Amino acid sequence: MTGNPVFDEIADLLTEQRNPSTVAIDRIPTTEILELINREDQGVPAAVARVIPEIARAVEMIVDAFRQGGRLLYVGAGTSGRLGILDAAECLPTFGIPQGMVKGIIAGGPEALVGPVEGAEDHVEDGVVAMRGEGVSERDVVVGITASRRTPYVVGALTEAKRLGAMTVLIACNPSSKTEIDVDVLLCPVVGPEVIAGSTRMKAGTAQKLILNMLTTASMIRIGKVYSNLMVDLQPTSQKLIERSKRIVMMCGGLSYQQAQVILKETGGDVKRALVMALSGVTAEEAEKRLVEVGGFVGEAIKLSTFPHSGSADVSTSLV
């Protein structure tokens, strides 16, 4: 013990320890360096798999929040904060969600996305202010992301979010710490020491990214943003996404390229309505009515058909 609480706290962290497998990494050829990194990375998915029951609990909380009009907010610093913002940003075009439904918040603000903001993570009160500024309430879920489990900004944000009534989740990669945070769900994939001691953008960051993928993807599936394994609420905001929309309608509806183009034009590019039209033989207006009735689930809207469209017989084959 040195008497410096921050030094002593960091010294105890698993992610700060030296990895015995890589102590000679600065003295080996490039190919061997890469092989070492790759071998270490292979343990990350297994570490994530061990916390799937806890991830499932977090997903259920997020789904409940979405159904009540609430939000999913990610909070982090450095790499962890950037990963949260990346996942949130990707949800908009992929799942067609409203702006702000999933949002990433990073210590230091937008400037910290492209470079370090010195000391931004060190202030508990800044995390508190961030939660108040977001208007966090009991309808929201706040996910703190910190490999070390002790980042002051994230600790402050989660503590304040809990006080404001939000459900809280912590993603960390250290199994224990002197800083204990009261959260509803703790996700702790233990990935061990990094290839380069303390470089948590590596294995810890990879584990965080995998978990964020699971949280949002599973939640979006549960609220009807996916039909089979296809993104049916995507926003056709680029040429690629416009063509992807046509391909989805073609695959599911057994339509030609031209037919898919026509039906999507009728729906203003809305893939869900186009699919219900193609598979149920109904108008765009009726398709919209059915989707509203079943909460946006394409499969359920199609089941409302008394006389299915002839193209629907090939749907199961087209989705294999």
Catalytic annotation, residues:
90, 121
Q: Which two tokens stand for residue 193?
A: 């020491």
Q: Which two tokens stand for residue 70?
A: 């609430």
**76 Cβ contact partners less than 8 Å away, ≥ 6 residues apart:** 82, 83, 84, 104, 105, 106, 107, 144, 145, 146, 151, 154
Q: What secondary structure letter does DSSP report for 169? A: E
> Concatenated DSSP letters for 187-211?
E-----S-SSTT-TTTHHHHHHHHH
| Residue 240 · residue 263 · CB < 8 Å | no
| Helix (H/G/I), strand (E/B), else coil: 140 | coil
Pairing of strands 230-231, 226-227: antiparallel
**36 Cβ contact partners less than 8 Å away, ≥ 6 residues apart:** 21, 22, 25, 28, 195
Angle subtended at Cα 285 by Cα 283 and Cα 287, rounded to the nearest 5 degrees: 70
